């Protein structure tokens, strides 16, 4: 196989070839590093590229494989990780110039687990400042969409999304607070999972909102997503909020028979006033395709879902301002203006508002969990629109922008952050401009296996993952 072809393999294909010694981990890393050096200056997917560390790790894993010490399916798999959690000896910026020189002395648990499984860190990926999702002034370059570099990639796990889509990594890790895995996965045409809250340790992570934050995989395929989750999931004594449940075999789960599954399509999300007609058409077609797989599909109503953005905002703003109290005290003027406004807004929210939001959260939780007693899976769009064009800073405070922030696009992803349910963003087609979109697959707590099985069956039916950008051309696209 030519070196230039290696980055276009799925992580699962790479896993098989490394196990069978058809390709060495060193060959894989060299192929990726060369591609990153060529394309990353255009896309700004990475903040820090770990070329030497990755090659050293690849040689170590290659030697262990030759000795018969095979660590499992993740052995030798290159990974890009969001620059939001500690990496020992490697700078960790949180996407902020205030931490541009910060080098942790230890690894976050997710890195420990990844290393133990045999993963190779290629680098730390670009992100919105402190994972807040509203950054305009990116200190390490504006992340650009590989399908068309005039367009954005979504936040806050921006670089992880573009790196996977542009084949600058085999798989990636992101973090999702109110959609920060699912949005960039949708707008970059990849598979992204917000796992059940408590499935993956957050020890060593720079948080945004304690009761929402979740680390998860962003990958080329559902199978790659399952492979990646397998490497990082599990109880961690350093994070008391992780579950002690045994971690299932996610790779086996994708082979499950899904016939007879009961699926509910949430009507309110399909009639969302911000939903682009093209996105609605593609998601509707995806729902019909899913129904053809032998599942039972019903239209259901969850009225409170339209208020999820408004419920989540005072919670996330308040918790964020508490987490970043030192930044508010010491670093105002050094951060993106919008991020500073968000932090300061959190300080102004009355305790009664935070309390009321938590009460409303419980009402929404009751309504949604009752639906999930009847239905195995819920379906809805991931995003209301395609990726937006990169342009001047939008004007904050207008009636339209505030409405959209609380009720429109925001109420498609925040419902599941409020509940902590697993939610999978699954590519389901392209608009006339060639930009991708996704359907969102929601499951019960700790039932990632079920949504993986459905996602894999849908993926085989449509092969949307076969479409990918390749090289820069005159249209400003990678593809």
The residues that are catalytic are: 82, 156, 180
Measured CA to CA, the distance from residue 274 to residue 145 in angstroms comes to 22
Sort residue 380 into left (φ over 0), alpha (ψ -120 to 50) or beta.
beta
Q: Compute CA 242 distance to the chain's CA centroid, rounded to the nearest angstrom.
A: 19
Q: Which two tokens mark 3? A: 């070196």
Residue showing tokens 């009720």? 407
Count Cβ atoms within 10 A of the Cβ of residue 250 and give its class: 0-12 exposed, 13-18 middle, 19 or more buried.
Answer: buried
Q: How far apart are CA 411 and CA 264, in angstroms?
A: 17
Instruction: For residues 400 and 408, give the distance between their C-alpha atoms in angstroms, rounded to a whole number.
Output: 10
Locate 375 and state its tokens.
């239905």
**Nearest residue to 179 via CA among 429, 423, 394:** 423
The secondary structure of 113-178, three-state, reads HHHHHCCEEEEEECCCHHHCCCCCCCCCCCCCECCECCECCCCCCHHHHHHHHCCCCCEEEEEECC
Between the alpha carbon of residue 45 and those of residues 164, 234, 294, 388, the distances in Å are 9, 28, 39, 17
Q: Which two tokens stand for residue 173?
A: 């890790």
DSSP class per residue in 184-246: HHHHHT-EEEEPPTTSB--TTB--S-TTT-EEEEEESSHHHHHHHHHHHBS-BTTBTTS--SP
What's the residue count for the chain? 479
Angle at 113 between CA 108 and CA 114, to 5 degrees: 95
Could you give the CA distance from residue 5 to residue 2 in angstroms, rounded to a whole number?
5
Q: Which of 229, 10, 201, 220 lies closest to 110 in space, CA to CA?
A: 201
Q: How far apart are CA 159 and CA 172, in angstroms?
A: 9
CA pair distance 201, 236, nearest whole angstrom? 6
Of the candidates 123, 126, 58, the residue with the CA atom closest to the CA atom of residue 94: 126
What span, in angstroms and rounded, lies between the C-alpha atoms of 471 and 240?
Answer: 45
């Amino acid at each position: 196989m030519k070196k230039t072809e290696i980055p276009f393999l799925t992580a699962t294909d790479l896993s098989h070839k490394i196990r069978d010694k058809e390709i060495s981990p060193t060959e894989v890393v060299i192929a990726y590093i060369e591609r990153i050096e060529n394309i990353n200056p255009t896309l700004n997917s990475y903040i820090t590229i770990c070329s030497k560390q990755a090659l050293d790790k690849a040689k170590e894993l290659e030697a262990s494989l030759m000795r018969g010490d095979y660590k499992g399916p993740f052995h030798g798999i290159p990974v890009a990780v969001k620059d939001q959690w500690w990496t020992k000896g490697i700078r960790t910026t949180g996407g902020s110039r205030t931490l541009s020189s910060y080098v942790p002395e230890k690894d976050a648990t997710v890195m420990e687990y990844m290393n133990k499984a045999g993963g190779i860190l290629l680098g730390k990926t670009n992100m919105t400042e402190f994972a807040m999702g509203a950054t305009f002034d990116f200190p390490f370059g504006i992340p650009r969409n590989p399908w068309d570099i005039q367009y954005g990639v979504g936040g806050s796990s921006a670089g992880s999304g573009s790196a996977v889509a542009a084949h600058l990594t085999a798989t990636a890790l992101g973090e999702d607070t109110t959609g920060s895995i699912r949005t960039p996965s949708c707008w970059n045409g990849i598979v992204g999972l917000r796992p059940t809250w408590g499935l993956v340790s957050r020890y060593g992570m720079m948080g945004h909102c304690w009761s929402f934050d979740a680390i998860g995989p962003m990958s080329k395929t559902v199978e790659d997503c399952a492979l990646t989750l397998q490497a990082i999931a599990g109880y961690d004594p350093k994070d008391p909020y992780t579950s002690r449940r045994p971690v299932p075999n996610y790779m086996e789960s994708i082979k499950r028979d899904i016939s007879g599954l009961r699926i509910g399509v949430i009507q309110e999300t399909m009639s969302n006033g911000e939903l682009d007609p093209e996105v609605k058409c593609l998601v509707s077609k995806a729902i019909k395709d899913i129904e053809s797989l032998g599942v039972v599909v019903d239209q259901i109503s969850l009225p409170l879902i339209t208020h999820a953005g408004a419920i989540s905002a005072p919670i996330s703003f308040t918790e964020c301002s508490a987490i970043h109290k030192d930044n508010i005290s010491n670093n105002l003027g050094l951060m993106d203006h919008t991020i500073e406004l968000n932090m300061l807004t959190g300080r102004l929210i009355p305790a009664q508002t935070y309390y009321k939001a938590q009460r409303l959260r419980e009402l929404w939780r009751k309504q949604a969990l009752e639906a999930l007693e009847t239905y195995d899976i819920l379906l809805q769009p991931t995003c209301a629109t395609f990726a937006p064009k990169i342009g001047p800073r939008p004007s904050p405070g207008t009636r339209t922008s505030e409405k959209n922030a609380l009720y429109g696009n925001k109420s498609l992803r925040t419902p599941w952050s409020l509940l902590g349910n697993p939610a999978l963003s699954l590519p389901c087609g392209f608009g006339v401009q060639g930009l991708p979109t996704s359907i969102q697959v929601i499951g019960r707590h700790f039932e990632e296996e079920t949504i993986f099985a459905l996602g894999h069956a849908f993926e085989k039916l449509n092969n949307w993952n076969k479409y990918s950008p390749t090289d820069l051309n005159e249209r400003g696209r990678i593809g």
